[in-house]
Amino acid sequence: MPIVAAGIRPLIGLPTYMEQASFGSWNVPSAVLHREYPAMVARAGGIPVLLPPVGVAGPELIARLDGLLLTGGADIDPARYGGAPEPSLGYTRPDRDDSEFELFRLARAAGLPVLAVCRGLQLVNVALGGTLIEHLPDVVGHERHSGGPGSFTEVEVRTTPGSAIAGILGPRVAARCHHHQAVAELGHELVATAHATDGTVEAVETGSGPFLIGVQWHPEADAADDRLVRALVAVASEKAPTVGKALAAVKDQPL
């Protein structure tokens, strides 16, 4: 990855949660994200940029990013794919939906590389016209994808030979999962390129166009394996030299 080695590290956007959080003497609404996400981006050679769901993303934000990592979190509002809330629907976050659907649309239009994780994959699928299974255990008959509160379960995932994700991870993945929803109907342009043994779609990608991979599992939960985010950073690095040249041009100018 010569561009990163030369010191021009790409900026990777990471949408955050907006939740009540306690720290120090405070217990207040806060923009928060699991530490493992930015740590993973930094290990891979990128610079993590946290994007709280405040307002709707605009082109000026996308122009400053080199890549986008859509993070996990709340269920997508089923109204966005023509569904109705079922009793098993988890919590939703309309502010994140508003912000991140537009963020993804703009990133896609600008040709930004995108890695989508768990909720991120579901958002990408819905944004491209797909639908979701609202409660996966009702379909597969077990809860082995869900894990317990605040924990992950290991799911064997098999990738499709010749796919981009197979080229990055190989034929099998011991995936760290925590999801009760999954892809139902695939969105336009998307191809399912990894499945659990029960048939659940665990990864999607596009056959052509800008880098776009979505995984239903949580790569940030395995600090020993950064291959997916390294692939994102490698592609994002191709955009970074433009920013690097601009910085070099002004570095020595007086204030």
Q: Is 177 a catalytic residue?
A: no
Catalytic residue among 135, 145, 178, 218: 218
Catalytic residue among 60, 205, 220, 238: 220
Distances, alpha carbon 122 to alpha carbons 18, 111, 134, 234, 251, in Å: 19, 20, 11, 24, 42
Q: Is 218 a catalytic residue?
A: yes
Q: Please name the residues in contact with 129: beta carbons below 8 A apart, sequence gap of 6 or more.
A: 187, 188
Distance CA 216, CA 119 (A): 7
Catalytic residue among 118, 135, 178, 202: 118
Helix (H) or strand (E) holding 70: strand 67-70
Q: Please name the residues in contact with 252: beta carbons below 8 A apart, sequence gap of 6 or more.
A: none
Helix (H, G, I), strand (E, B) or coil at 148: coil
Q: Which residues are catalytic?
A: 118, 218, 220
